[in-house]
Amino acid sequence: VGSPDIAATAGVKLPIETPPGLIVHSRPFEKLLNGLVLAERLHMRQTAEGRIIAGSDFGGADPGMDAEATARDLFAATKAMLRGSDGLELDFHTIGYRPTPTDGFPIIGRAKGVPGLYVAVMHSGVTLAPAVGLFAAREILDGERDPLLAPYGLARFAR
């Protein structure tokens, strides 16, 4: 169950799309990366167990009609960017569905007319969670809406 389904139980429509994203995962390998790598056409990082994980944008590549071929192409591009990656092998790929507001920006705040419903939905939820959690807690508990959240309310879609 996602945010749109939960909000719908209160009669609130969230303008969310869920485009697919493909991420490739290598077999565990010797340490090649020390952090997140952001390149023109892809991003990658290495996990604690040594896997290189890469996508072509922050949500992952569009898997297209042939996810296996897309994964192979993305992995080849990833491997080509890494020195010392000759033995690096593709292990598997994953496809996830990214909750993305239709205008691309987060929706954060109370739903007007629905007491007790607070919305915080965005594609980059993992990255933004610490800040959004702090802002949301302040607004929910103290009634103080941070001015930084002004552009991100649900009401912007009613215009």
How far apart are the two ends of the chain, measured CA to CA in Å? 28
Residue 38: helix, strand or coil by DSSP?
Answer: strand
Q: What is the pLDDT of residue 40?
A: 84
Residue type at 82 in one-letter notation: L
Q: What is the pLDDT of residue 64?
A: 78
pTM of the model: 0.74
Structure token digits, residue 127: 């990255």
Q: Average pLDDT for consecutive 10-residue bins of the chain (159 residues)?
A: 89 92 96 92 94 81 84 96 96 91 95 94 87 97 97 92
Q: What is the pLDDT of residue 158?
A: 86
Cα–Cα distance, 23 to 96 (Å, whole number): 8
Cα–Cα distance, 23 to 63 (Å, whole number): 9
Q: How far is CA 127 from CA 15, 53, 68, 122, 146, in A?
A: 21, 16, 28, 10, 19
The answer for residues whose C-beta is within 8 angstroms of residue 34's C-beta and 6 or more apart is none
pLDDT tens, 31-43?
A: 999 999 988 889 9
- How is residue 140 annotated by DSSP? H
The answer for residues whose C-beta is within 8 angstroms of residue 71's C-beta and 6 or more apart is 22, 24, 63, 90, 93
Q: What is the pLDDT of residue 151?
A: 97
Question: Strand (E) positions, the chain?
Answer: 16-17, 20-26, 37-38, 43-46, 52-55, 90-97, 100-101, 107-110, 118-121
